[in-house]
Structure 1
Amino acid sequence: MIAPMAFSVLLLIGFLFFTGVGLLYLLFMGLIHYIPLVVIGVVVLYIWIVMMIFHYFNTKKRKKWFGIIAGIFVMGAAVWPIMHLYKESISTVDAEVDVFYYEPFSMGRETKLVSLDEAATLTLEDNLPRIDGATALYPLYAAFVHAVYPEKEYNPYDSEVMVNTTPVAYDNLFSGEVDMILAAGPSDAQLKTAKQKGLELKLTPVGREAFVFFVNQKNPVTSLELKQIQDIYAGKITDWKEVGGNNEPIRAFQRPEDSGSQTALERLMGDIPIMDAPEENVPEGMGGIISEVSKYRNYKNAIGYTFRYYSTEMVGNDEIKLLAINGVEPNKETIRNEEYPISSEFYVVTAGTENPNVEKFIEWMLSPQGQELVEKVGYVPVKKP
């Protein structure tokens, strides 16, 4: 028969082995918030078994005190996973969009693609310009392609017509992977990169859009002044009560660097320094931890920003509301009439491509047919009918 001490040592070795395997699994799966609870749980279980082996629990008082102390430690370790589960229960607004709904010539799929009622005045059969762009603009340039390019499959991630985030689209343009992109204007960092590579960027406006700020539907604030927006993102206004809301601290979310919406915020702020963005630790691979800008979670005291079309048409989240700025609602008419104070143009951007059809395609985008598609998709044309 194994002596109690030897058995407790063997038990400890077994617990350490299986706990180590479990912790590695949690790290690999990105479940780091459960680690303290698992460690405390294992320690409590091991101590309880050892005390049972040595007949420590021979009085009710000892059992009671062990239960109290163990309960305190377990409840303390459970705080982090409970907070994580609560955070995960709050929806993120920048939800992924199924871009395949907008794929040109979608083969038998349900589609949201907009098309002309007549044949395009331009058709391309070869030397097809390679295109990339912002997700929010994919429904538009996919419609352009559907009108002008030959019918075939254009996989959004592996074809002449791709869709990526704005930073990736600019990287592809700079590396010569694509001939043109549709996106917001470049950030200062992207302009610097183009200059270092000896590239001359040509920006051709093809439509107008509103840069919008949004909050939780339950937030009583419906409008902010432009100066108040700047003060919020400079860290000068920190509580909603300062702008007519509830007495709650403002969670001002930001977007990753060089994204179209972050560049729009930087342009809006001008020389005013932007405060540090909320960050969260994110597991990377086997236990590595990185920090990234937190995705917008729809807390009752949060504020975020994006572009109008992406928010209202592509994502369509009814748990948020767009704020009026200086008392003006962001919609197509206020953008068209230039009443909404932070509307701006988006562009076809090139960097010296040799493809002979690029200029023809851009000219067609600015033609009555091209501008008709801008309107039908849901943006505001740069050229009035």
Structure 2
Amino acid sequence: MKRITVILTTALIFAAVNAMLYVTITRRLANNFSGTGQLKMVDVRKFLPFEEGSELARTGASLKFTESDKLPVLDGAAALVPVYASVIENCYPEGCITYKGGTFSDDNYYGENFAPDSVMQYQNTIRGFDALVAGSVDLFFTAHPSKEQMLSAQEKGAELEIVPIGQEAFVFFVNKGNPVDGLSSEQIRSVYRGEITNWNEVGGASRTIYPLTRVKGSGSQTMMEKFMEGDMITSKAPLSVFGGAIGYSFRYYLSGMVADENVKMLAVDGIYPDTENIRNGSYPLTANFYAVYRRDNQNANVQRLVDWLLSEEGQTMIEACGYVGLPDDISEQ
């Protein structure tokens, strides 16, 4: 009887704790702006070359590799999967993408299912960059590598060629329920320095700001550290998780690849990050993205491919993918 009483008491305590957590945390978080912080994975299946339903830019190319060519292995950041997958679609022969087990797996979140001999890999920014430096990837599509990544490459004896191939906007986003539609650059910096802590300080509701950050070494985190000029919060107030979140990413990754109707992008300094404002240079956080390769790479097709990306055909493909091409005076150099 005593044992039963102990078991029942333990069960009641467990239930009470869970009820308290639901009331104080779960229920409150379910109805605030923090949903913007949910992890979003790229559905790689949507961007597989040579698949009828893939969402790729099929613009055609005069550059056509054959099975007898030494095919460059491509990898890149999650935000640029549509670009390098479209390169393969337009320039590579069918049959060059292979999978462990013979077919693509729905569990292929980080490229685990691509076979070692596949010309398409998906290892994302951190692991993919390391693979480029190690030599198992020929051409890597990315935002500009971080200082730490460049130093790591130098220490390993890898000299890199970093070629701009297109433009993208670095954006800040909130839940669509947040009444704030835009912030100034200095307001954003103040948020991420812990100086502005409530949305009512920037015209919003009286709610704590929950500033989201990204993984060190990712393209978006590298861009954010550059924007913050090295002065950025390293910890958050524990209770800020109850507030309204703000996060950052790249425009097409947010709006086109992991599109979420509950999220909206913010104007920065009064300029909204649409393609026209990226193209005309008025959006203040416009950045190039790059094709990166080792200078000692002996595969001549790597340079051929980079030259094609800078050509009118290549720039047309990049635009068709949903990004913005380089200004004519850069792409024609």
For the aligned pair, the TM-score class normalised by the smaller chain equals 0.7 to 0.9
Q: Aligned equivalents of 1:373 and 1:277: distance in 2?
A: 41
Q: After superposition, where does 1:268-287 map in structure 2 within 5 Å?
A: 268-271=227-230, 273-277=231-235
Deviation at 1:279, TM superposition (A): 10
Quick check: 2:70–2:301 contact (8 Å CA) kept in 1? yes
Letter in 1 for 2:195: K
Deviation at 1:76, TM superposition (A): 3.9
1:122 aligns with 2:57: no
Q: Aligned equivalents of 2:235 and 2:119: distance in 1?
A: 35
Deviation at 1:83, TM superposition (A): 5.5
* SS of alignment partner, residue 167 of structure 2: strand
Alpha-carbon RMSD: 2.6
Structure with greater Cα Rg: 1
Letter in 1 for 2:306: I
1:265-296, Cα deviation, whole Å (9 max, x unpaired)? 0010113x21025599xxxxxxxxxxxxxxxx
Q: TM-score if structure 1 supplies the norm length?
A: 0.73
1:382 aligns with 2:323: no
Q: Aligned equivalents of 2:71 and 2:133: distance in 1?
A: 18
Pick closer, same or farther for the CA change 1:151–1:252 going to 2, 3 Å. Answer: same
Q: Aligned equivalents of 1:94 and 1:368: distance in 2?
A: 36
Q: Aligned equivalents of 2:133 and 2:189: distance in 1?
A: 32
Partner of 1:137: 80
Pick closer, same or farther for the CA change 1:382–1:46 going to 2, 3 Å. Answer: closer
Pick closer, same or farther for the CA change 1:46–1:315 going to 2, 3 Å. Answer: closer
Q: 1:328 aligns with which of 241, 247, 271?
A: 271
Letter in 1 for 2:64: T
Q: Aligned equivalents of 1:96 and 1:115: distance in 2?
A: 24
Q: Aligned equivalents of 1:100 and 1:205: distance in 2?
A: 27
* SS of alignment partner, residue 204 of structure 1: strand
Partner of 2:153: 194
Letter in 2 for 1:191: M
Q: Aligned equivalents of 2:187 and 2:137: distance in 1?
A: 40
Q: 1:96 aligns with which of 41, 60, 83?
A: 41
1:149 aligns with 2:92: yes
Range 157-166 or range 307-316, more displaced: 157-166
Letter in 2 for 1:132: D
Quick check: 2:72–2:301 contact (8 Å CA) kept in 1? yes
Deviation at 1:181, TM superposition (A): 0.2
Deviation at 1:176, TM superposition (A): 1.2
Deviation at 1:317, TM superposition (A): 0.5
Deviation at 1:74, TM superposition (A): 4.7
Partner of 1:43: 6
1:312 aligns with 2:255: yes
Partner of 2:20: 79
Deviation at 1:357, TM superposition (A): 0.8
Percent identity, aligned pairs only, is: 38
Pick closer, same or farther for the CA change 1:114–1:279 going to 2, 3 Å. Answer: farther
Letter in 1 for 2:233: M
Partner of 1:15: none
Deviation at 1:78, TM superposition (A): 3.5
Q: 2:298 aligns with which of 347, 354, 368?
A: 354
Pick closer, same or farther for the CA change 1:193–1:328 going to 2, 3 Å. Answer: same
Partner of 1:233: 192
Letter in 1 for 2:320: K
Letter in 2 for 1:373: M
Partner of 1:256: 215
Quick check: 1:216–1:300 contact (8 Å CA) kept in 2? no
Quick check: 1:218–1:300 contact (8 Å CA) kept in 2? no
* SS of alignment partner, residue 218 of structure 1: coil
Deviation at 1:141, TM superposition (A): 1.1
Quick check: 1:93–1:317 contact (8 Å CA) kept in 2? no
Q: Aligned equivalents of 1:121 and 1:150: distance in 2?
A: 13
- In structure 2, the gaps of 5 or more residues are 99-110
Partner of 1:284: none
Range 315-324 or range 145-154, more displaced: 145-154
1:344-366, Cα deviation, whole Å (9 max, x unpaired)? 00000112322121001100011
Pick closer, same or farther for the CA change 1:341–1:172 going to 2, 3 Å. Answer: same
Quick check: 1:105–1:153 contact (8 Å CA) kept in 2? no
1:168-223, Cα deviation, whole Å (9 max, x unpaired)? 11111111110110000111211110111121121100000000000111111111
Q: TM-score if structure 2 supplies the norm length?
A: 0.84
